[in-house]
Amino acid sequence: MTTGDELRGFLTSRRAALSPEDVGLPDPATSRRVPGLRREEVASLAGVSVHYYVKLEQGRAGNVSGQVLAAIARALRLDDVETRYLRSLLQPGRHAPPALPRARPALRSMIGALAVPAVIHGPHLEVLAINHAGKALLDDFEAMPPADRNTAKWMFLSPRARVVYRDWARIAADVVAVLRSGPADDALARLAGELRTRSPEFAQLWAEHRVAEHQNGVKRFFHEAVGELTLNWQTLHLPDSQGQSVIVYSADTGSPSEEKLRLLASWTATPAPVTP
C-alpha cells in the first residue's frame, strides 16, 4: 500500500459516492458506465483543470495548496474527518513511521484505578494497556502475543469479538474507518496488508476507503456471565502522546447494565496490576 494508491482509491471512492444531483449538476441524458461523478465534473466544481485533477488523483500533482485542497474537499462534499485525511495523503513528509508507542506508567495507573472498563489505544488501534474491567468485558489482551494486541486484529481474527459485540458488522466497519484515519505510515501498511490477506471481510471494508474518528456513542455487548449490556463509550484523545487515546465504557446510572457491569467486574476481580 503506497500513499499514491491510497490517494487514488480515496478520491475515486468519494467520486463514486456522489451523483450529479447531489452536487447541483443537471441529470445527464446518457447513462454512465460507472456510478458517481466524472473527473471532469469534479474538476469543474473545484475550479481546476481536468488535466490537473487527473494528476492529483493519480498522486502526480506535487505539492497541493491549501486553497486547492479546500476546493477539492468542497467539490467532493468531504466532512472534516475526510478533509483531514485527504490533507494527510497530500502533505509530503507526513508518512515516516513513528516509534513504537508505549503508554505512560501514569496512564496505566489511571485506568487501573477505574472501576469501569478502559483501554489505552495507540495510533493504529494497538492495545497499549487495558484495565481489569476491560479484560472482563472484552478480552485479556495482555495474555496475547504482543503482535496480536490490536483491536483491529482482534475484531476480524478472533471469534471472541463476534460474541462480545452484538452489532459486530456495524462496529467492525467503524473499526476499519477509524484505523484508516490514523497515520498513513509503514506500520499501517503492514497491518492493513496482513488483515487484507487473512480476512476477506476486512479486505472488502478497506476497499471502501471510509474514514472516521473514534469519539463517543453506545454499544451493545454480551458476556456469558451476565448476558447483554448496553454501555456508553467515550474516547479521550491524549495530546503529545503519539496519537494515543483512552476509551472508557460506562452504563447509565441505575440501569440494569450498570448492575451487570458491577457484577462482572466483581466476579472476575483479581489484584493483578495493569501492565503495558
* Distance separating the N- and C-terminal Cα atoms of the chain: 29
Residue 128 CB coordination number (10 Å) = 23
Region 10-25 average pLDDT: 83
* pTM for this model (two decimals): 0.83
- Domain membership of residue 192 as a residue range: 105-267
Number of domains in the chain: 2
Region 84-94 average pLDDT: 74
Question: Per-residue confidence at 275, pLDDT binned at 50, 70, 90?
Answer: very low
Going by the DSSP 8-state scheme, the letter that residue 76 receives in this structure is T
Domain shared by 139 and 73, yes or no = no
Q: Residue 220: beta bridge partners?
A: 230
Residue 239 confidence (pLDDT): 82
Question: Per-residue confidence at 272, pLDDT binned at 50, 70, 90?
Answer: very low
Query: How much of the chain exceeds pLDDT 70, in percent?
Result: 89
**CATH code where residue 165 lies:** 3.30.450.180
Domain shared by 133 and 166, yes or no = yes
C-alpha cell at 23: 452536487
Considering the domain boundaries, does residue 120 fall inside one?
A: yes
Residue 28 confidence (pLDDT): 62
**Contact at 8 Å (CB) between 155 and 171?**
yes
Domain shared by 152 and 214, yes or no = yes
Which of these three, 35, 60, 90, is where a domain ends? 90
Distance between CA atoms of residues 127 and 197, nearest Å: 21
Considering the domain boundaries, does residue 247 fall inside one?
A: yes
Domain shared by 55 and 113, yes or no = no
Q: What is the pLDDT of residues 42-72, one digit of tens each?
A: 888 888 888 888 888 888 777 788 888 898 9
Q: What is the pLDDT of residues 216-247, one digit of tens each?
A: 999 999 999 999 999 999 999 988 777 899 99
C-alpha cell at 165: 459485540
Residue 30 confidence (pLDDT): 59
Distance between CA atoms of residues 200 and 221, nearest Å: 24
Domain shared by 152 and 250, yes or no = yes
Helices (H) and strands (E) in the chain, counts: 13, 5
Domain shared by 82 and 182, yes or no = no
Domain shared by 85 and 126, yes or no = no
Domain shared by 44 and 122, yes or no = no
**What is the DSSP code string of 185-238?**
SHHHHHHHHHHHHH-HHHHHHHTTT------EEEEEEEETTTEEEEEEEEEEEP
Q: Angle of helix 50-57 relative to helix 39-46, nearest 10 degrees?
A: 110
Domain shared by 141 and 56, yes or no = no
